[in-house]
Structure 1
Amino acid sequence: MRKVVVTGLGCVSPIGNSVEETWASIRAGKSGIATITHYDASAFKVKYAAEVKNFEADKYMDPQSARKMARFSKYAVAAAKMALDDSNLTDNKEDLDNAAVYLGVGIGGLEITESSMKSYFDSGFKRMPPMTIPQLIPNEAAANISIKFGLHGVAHTIATACASGSDALGQALDNIRAGRSDIVLAGGAESTQNGFANLGFTVLQALSSKWADDPSKACRPFDKQRDGFVMGEGATILVLEEYEHAKARGAKIYAEFAGYGATCDGYHLTAPNPDGIMGARAMTLAMKDAGVKPEDVTYYNAHGTSTHLNDSGETAMLHMAFGEAAKKLHISSTKSMHGHCLGDAGALEAMICVKAIEEGYIPPTINLDEVDVEGGCDLDYTPNKGIDMNIDVAMSGNFGFGGHNGIVVFKKVSE
C-alpha cells in the first residue's frame, strides 16, 4: 500500500492566522473565545464565540476575488496558500496541475444566506445579490482553491457535519493510496458566525451561554460546569503526499498519515447514540488501518465539545476501543481554546496532532477545574497544563449531527 505523509500545513483559526500563531496559542493555553464582534449579538442569548481575528484576505488573494467569496472560502484559500508555501509547491506547476482537493464543509456561506434572504424578503421577492448562490454553496471553497492555484485533479467537498474535516482527510488518504493522486490538499473550512446560526444552535440547546462575564472560561470539556459548545470558525489545509514522491523532491515531512476509520450511528439526527458502539468501532477501524494497537497510541485529540452528551459518550467510546490502555492514554480537547470549528474541526485538530508529534507536546484542556467523574468522565484529559513527551502515534476523533463518526491516525515518520 502507498504510504502517505504530511508535507505542508496552513491554518486560519480563532487563536491565530497561521500554523505558528495557532500552535503558540495552544502551547500557551490561550483561549480565543470572546464577545462576538462579527455582528450585533446584543439581542441574542449567546453573546460570545471563537472568532477569527484581524484576518486580511488581501494577503492571500486579490481584492476582486475576495469580494466574490464567503468567509469560509476566503479562509480556505488563505490556508491553502500557507500550506503550499510550507510544502515548497507554490511554483511547482507540474505537480499542482495533477493535485486534488478534498475539503470538509459542514454548512457553507451561511452569512451570505442570511443577508441575501433579508434582501429577498425586504424587496418583496424581487432582489438579491447576484453572487448569492456561488458564494453560499459548500463546494465553492474547494473550487476557489483549485482556481487560485491551478489544481486540476478532483475537487470534492465532504459534508458530514462536525466530522467533515476528518472525513475529507480520510477520503484524501484513500485517493493517494489508490494511486489516483500523488498530492492532495485536504482539510476543512467553516464560518457560521452570524445571528442565523447563533439562534439555530441556541434553540437546539447546544451552545454555552452562561459565561458572558468571562467568555474565555466558556468552553470547558469534561468539566462539571460545562454548559454547551462554543462556535468557532476558520480553515485548515494539510498537504498530503505519497511518500516516495515527497522524498524524491526533497520535501519536509511532518508525519505519516497512517489510518482512517468512519462509521455512522444510524440513530438520531442530533444526538449521539448513548451506547457509543459505532464511535468506538470507528476508532478500532482507524487503528487497524494504521497498523497500531491501542497501547501504541500516546495522544488522542478528543472531539470534546463541552456538552454533557458528547464528553461522557466519547469517554465511553475510548473505554470500549482502548480497553485497559484507555487509562494510560493522554487526552485533551483543544476546543477549550479554539472553540468548535464545525466543518474545520477535524482538520484543525489533525494539524494539532501533527504538531504534537513534531514537537513532542501533549496540549492541555484548559478550564478543566473539576473533572466530571460522576458524569462519566473518568480518564486523563490533561487538565490546564500541557506535557512535554515523545509521541509516536496521535489520533483525533470528530463526531457530527446525523451520527457521523470520523477518526484519523498519524505516526512519527520512520524509514
Structure 2
Amino acid sequence: MKRVVITGMGIVSSIGNNVEEVLESLKAGKSGIEASEQFKENGLRSQVWGSLKINPAEHIDRKQMRFMGDAAAYAYLSMEQAIADSGLTPEQVSNERAGIVAGSGGASSLNQVAAIDTLREKNVKRVGPYMVTRTMAQPFLHVLQHRLRSKVLTTQSALHVLLQRTVLAMQWSLSNLVSKTLYSLVAVKNWTTACL
C-alpha cells in the first residue's frame, strides 16, 4: 500500500496566522470567537464571529493584491506558508507532479457590496476592471499565482465537499498521478457573508 503525505501546511485563522500559532491556541484552549461591531451595526441577530488579525496587503505585493478579494488573499497567504513549510523549490511546485486542493467558503461578498454601491452611487465605469476578480469565488487565483501546472481541485462549498476533494487527491497520489499535493481552505466571514 502506498502512503500519502501532506508535505506542507499553512493557515490563517481567528486563533493564529500560522500553524505554530494555531497549535498553541488549540493547546491553550483559546477561542477566536468575539463580539462583532460589524454584525451589531448591521442588525444581525447573531453578533459573534472569528475575525482574522492579519492585513494581507502588508504581506502581498500590491500588483497581485489588486486582483484579490479577501478570500483569495487569505488563501494566498496560507498557500505561501504551505509551500514554505514543504521545503519545495519553485521548480518542484511548478511541475506536473504537484497537485493542489483549494477551497473557499464563498465569494468576496464585501467586494460585491462595494461594487454594487459604486454602481448605484456613480456609474458602471467607476466600478473598475479589478473588481471582477475580487468578487469571484477565487480558490483558483492563488493556484495561478504559484504557476501550478498539474492536478487542481477547487471548491466553493461546505467542508464536506473539501473532504471529498481530499479523498480524490489521495487517490491521485495512490494512482501515481501526482507526488506532491498542497491544500488550502478559506472561509471568510464578514457582515455581508453572514447576511447570505
Q: Please, what TM-score do these two structures have when normalized by structure 2? A: 0.86
Q: Distance in 2 between matches of 1:43 and 1:172?
A: 40
8 Å Cα contact 2:13/2:52 also seen in 1: yes
Shift of 1:17: 0.4
Consecutive unaligned residues in structure 1, runs of 5 or more? 201-415
Q: Distance in 1 between matches of 2:176 and 2:103?
A: 21
Give the ranges of 4+ consecutive aligned residues of structure 1 lying more than 6 Å apart after TM superposition: none
Matched, 1:159 2:156: yes
Change (3 A) 1:79 1:86: same
2:28 aligned partner: 28
Structure 2 letter corresponding to 1:102: V
1:112 aligned partner: 111
Structure 2 letter corresponding to 1:178: S
Q: Distance in 2 between matches of 1:115 and 1:175?
A: 40
Instruction: Report the number of matched residues.
Output: 194
Shift of 1:170: 2.1
Q: Secondary structure at the match of 2:87?
A: coil
1:199 aligned partner: 195
Shift of 1:167: 2.8
1:85 aligned partner: 84
Bigger radius of gyration = 1
Aligned ranges 1:14-53 → 2 under 5 Å:
14-36=14-36, 39=38, 41-45=40-44, 46-53=46-53
After superposition, give the CA deviation of every residue in 1:357-414 in whole Å (9 maximum; x if it has no partner): xxxxxxxxxxxxxxxxxxxxxxxxxxxxxxxxxxxxxxxxxxxxxxxxxxxxxxxxxx
Consecutive unaligned residues in structure 2, runs of 5 or more? none
Question: Which of 165, 170, 175 is 2:172 aligned to?
Answer: 175
Q: Secondary structure at the match of 1:4?
A: coil
Change (3 A) 1:124 1:96: closer
Structure 1 letter corresponding to 2:43: F
Q: Secondary structure at the match of 2:72?
A: helix
Q: Distance in 2 between matches of 1:199 and 1:26?
A: 29
Greater share of strand? 1
Q: Distance in 2 between matches of 1:95 and 1:187?
A: 14
2:2 aligned partner: 2
| More RCO (CA 8 Å, sep 6+) | 2
Aligned ranges 1:318-397 → 2 under 5 Å:
none
Change (3 A) 1:80 1:126: closer
1:277 aligned partner: none
1:12 aligned partner: 12
Greater share of helix? 2
Q: Distance in 1 between matches of 2:161 and 2:116?
A: 26
RMSD over aligned Cα, in angstroms? Answer: 2.3
1:147 aligned partner: 144
